[in-house]
Structure 1
Amino acid sequence: MSAAGSSSVHASAVRVGDHAVLIRGPSGSGKSRLAFGLIVAGRTGQIPDAELIGDDRVFLERRDGRLWVRPAPELAGMIEVRGLGIRRCPNAPEAVIGLIVDLAADDASRLPEAAAMQIRIEGVELPRVPVAAEFDPLPLVVAALTTIDAVGA
């Protein structure tokens, strides 16, 4: 059961440092694979410490002008690893969303327009990375988390 003011979405989320990366996309697009890739990247020091929040289904809630994500209770601490099945791993109880990743995004491009790099969800403006279906999302997300946009610099 969801708390008042929260909504369930088909997505995965990983806490990276102090903020969450919310990973959206159609079934089979690689949400779980990207989530696990971020966890491994955190363990190897490529990005700040990373921990699963939820895989497959998470709850979003707007609080104090920010968008929070938390796991579906029945799926907390579980992630699908293709070829191994459902696995258990440590998970964070919630985090403020700092980045949206849209897998198999129709508007993904080599040099995306500024408008494609932002999205408004439940009234909160958030940075976004649209990823084409045939592209490996992990390097893009790591770059988004570890570099600064040079446009307008």
Structure 2
Amino acid sequence: MTPEGPIHATTVAVRCSDGWRGVMILGASGAGKSDLALRLIGRGWRLVSDDYTRVWASGGALYACAPAIIAGRIEVRGLGIVSAATRPLVRATLAVACTREPVERLPEPRSRAFCGVDLPLLTLDPRPASAVDVVAAALETL
């Protein structure tokens, strides 16, 4: 096990045909990480961790969980900290980098290493309503 962390990311998970898959949403404070996570949770996804995520490598895969102090809670801007349906641990399979800049229509594949494990990296403006569908589509291509 190779620990790293915690990293500045909100992590959510969804059950797929091959088990649970996690998506780490990266970005600075105010970038839209929690907002995108809330919209995914509204579609049946589960919160793993909001704002900070502990990650480690094991068996060539990357795993993620919440630091104990923030487990089970997510910040809702304008409302405060609320409880959310959670998944305590997930194998992370995709990283999403939040940006406010225009996104390339047909980008070259990119990746980012965490604890020596490369994850596909999707750069995304989280503000459009379609952002949740883009994340789901990217996960399906893996």
State TM-score, norm by structure 1: 0.79
* SS of equivalent residue, structure 2 residue 43: helix
Q: Determine if contact 1:109/1:132 at 8 Å carries over to the other structure.
A: no
Match of 1:96 in 2: 91
Match of 2:41 in 1: 39
Q: Determine if contact 1:15/1:92 at 8 Å carries over to the other structure.
A: yes
Task: Give, in angstroms, the shift of residue 107 of structure 1.
Answer: 8.7
* SS of equivalent residue, structure 1 residue 35: helix
Match of 1:86 in 2: 81
Q: Determine if contact 2:10/2:33 at 8 Å carries over to the other structure.
A: yes
Distance of 2:126 and 2:32 partners within structure 1: 9
Comparing both chains, which one has the higher relative contact order based on Cα–Cα distances under 8 Å and sequence gaps of 6 or more? Answer: 2
Task: Give, in angstroms, the shift of residue 31 of structure 1.
Answer: 0.3
1:77 to 72, 80, 89: 72
Q: Give % identity.
A: 34
Task: Give, in angstroms, the shift of residue 129 of structure 1.
Answer: 1.0
Pairs aligned (count): 137
Task: Give, in angstroms, the shift of residue 19 of structure 1.
Answer: 1.0
Match of 1:26 in 2: 28
1:129 to 98, 102, 122: 122
Which deviates the most, 25-34 or 99-108? 99-108
1:96-122: CA deviation from partner (whole Å, max 9, x where unpaired): 0011110017694111012x3x32222
* SS of equivalent residue, structure 1 residue 33: helix
Distance of 1:126 and 1:107 partners within structure 2: 22
Runs of 4+ in 1 over 4 A off after TM superposition: 133-136
* SS of equivalent residue, structure 1 residue 60: strand
Which deviates the most, 127-136 or 81-90? 127-136
More strand by share: 2
More helix by share: 1
Q: Determine if contact 1:26/1:104 at 8 Å carries over to the other structure.
A: no
RMSD: 2.3
Distance of 1:108 and 1:119 partners within structure 2: 17
Distance of 1:112 and 1:4 partners within structure 2: 31
Match of 1:56 in 2: 51
Consecutive unaligned residues in structure 2, runs of 5 or more: none
1:48-91: CA deviation from partner (whole Å, max 9, x where unpaired): xx210010111011111111000010000100112221101121
State TM-score, norm by structure 2: 0.84
